[in-house]
Amino acid sequence: MTWLVIKRFLEQWKALMERKKEDFGLPPKLTKNHPVHKWLESMVLYLGQKVGVRNAPLEYVVRAMALVPAVPPPLQVGEPHSEEHGSIEGDLIARMTHNHALFKVDNGAVYDMIESSTRGSDVTSSIAPFRKTRDGRGVLNALKSQHAGKAVYDRLVKEAEQTLSNKVWNGNTSTSLASHMGAQRKAWISMQECADHVPVDVPNERARVTYLMDSIKTTDPTVLAALAAIRQDELDKRVNFENSFAYLVPVCPVAAKAAKKTKVSFDVNVSGAAGGIKSPGGGLGGGNPSPGKGESGVSLRYHTHKEFLNLNKDQRNELSEWTKANGGKKKHGGGKRKGDSPQGSPKAGDSNKQFKTMILEMEGRQNKMFEAMAEVQQSSIAAIHASASPDHAAKMKPMVSSVSCSQGDATKEVLVERANVAMLKLNRILKSKNDGKKG
């Protein structure tokens, strides 16, 4: 015994005791989408994290061999653990006896975890015989023999071999080359896992690449060129499946077609100085609208009443002409839609009349407002000119020459009165407009 070995032992033991206090949550749940043999592996890993009352991972309860070999494995040089197991935890899992008084406590804890994880599943009947004794080791071995025996792993190996040997990719389906190669990777991993339970000849890297190249049956020139490059690269891709995977993914024609279908174009047709619109060929057309758009920019389709009111005058006129020329809104998917007002008119002619009437009324109110604003401006300028000093009036003469002609030789008081009247008139128009909006 040396101080360095003792020091390293204390460090590992302290870490193990700290882990005993940690909460690792609930054990893995057995579900329909989680096969029993996969769940058993997850449960063993979970037991390897939990520390029992004997200050050892609970995995020692369910290890393969219950008896401990009389001769321990040799220690690693300068370390407090064996070379075979690689850590103090590994030694505890392999060397803790099953005839200790506290073994029943840890064994019962393992049973409780398995029972809660499998509650309500199809394997409940396999657990029932061990309920009275709370034998966690016994129930786990029963589940292995009944649901994760050699027959299960033989079937998994057969499925993996069929995937590697018989599954073909030709590029004529929606399956991408990445998905096809991913299935081969999954099959190889499954064979590796099965090798821990049954004898399996797991393919090496070169054999994996051979399976991959043989499974690709396509006439696409890009893929064939990539396969030729892989076949000639004896130092890297020919003997490395993952590098071949990364080399083939960018040349997949299926993925390229899917990306092309979902590609969004951000090109914008910009009008030129003469009003021309950029054509698809790149030149400027003579004002021809792009597909689905009018010259005013309006979408040539059926518009609801609310959408129509949000258009400007040119867009409304163009949309009305297009609707008449194309047989009305019914021909183009018009009619009552979700979101339309319940008072929508069933006839396109009546709707157009109502729209035109509303447009004329809005234009009339707008013209009245502009006229009132112009009158206020003219009368105000004239009143200011009449009230200004002679020198200041001389400077303002160019600004009010046109206004003074319309006002005549009215006196200062008359001009001020006219300005006040014009302002009141404008206020009434604006007030009536605001009241209409509120209504």
* Interior/surface letters 22-51, b for 16+ CB within 10 angstroms, e for the rest: eeeeebbebeeeeebbebbeebeebbbebb
Task: Give pLDDT tens digits along the chain (439 positions).
Answer: 688 889 989 999 999 899 888 888 888 888 887 788 888 888 999 999 999 999 999 999 999 889 998 888 998 888 888 989 899 999 999 999 999 999 999 999 999 999 998 888 888 888 888 989 999 999 999 888 888 888 888 999 999 999 999 999 998 888 999 999 999 999 999 999 889 888 999 999 999 999 999 999 999 999 999 999 999 999 999 999 999 999 999 999 988 888 877 654 444 444 443 444 344 444 444 444 444 677 777 787 877 877 877 888 788 888 888 887 776 544 444 444 444 444 444 455 566 777 777 777 777 777 777 777 777 677 777 766 666 555 555 555 555 454 444 455 556 666 667 777 777 777 777 766 555 555 5
**DSSP-based three-state secondary structure for 284:** strand
The model's pLDDT over 68-91, given as tens digits with 9 standing for 90+, comes to 988 889 988 888 889 898 999 999
Residue 296 CA, distance from chain mean position: 37
Per-residue pLDDT at 303: 79
Interatomic CA distance for residues 8 and 79, integer angstroms: 7
SS3 content of the chain, % helix, strand, coil (to 5): 60, 5, 35
Q: Which one, of 163, 141, 145, 165, lies nearest residue 153 by Cα? A: 145
List, in sequence order, the alpha helices (H) in 205-265. 205-215, 221-232, 241-248, 253-261
Does pTM surpass 0.85?
no
Residue whose tokens read 């029963």: 142
The two three-digit tokens of residue 320, written as one number? 């009305």
Interatomic CA distance for residues 209 and 238, integer angstroms: 6
The model's pLDDT over 107-164, given as tens digits with 9 standing for 90+, comes to 999 999 999 988 888 888 888 889 899 999 999 998 888 888 888 889 999 999 999 9
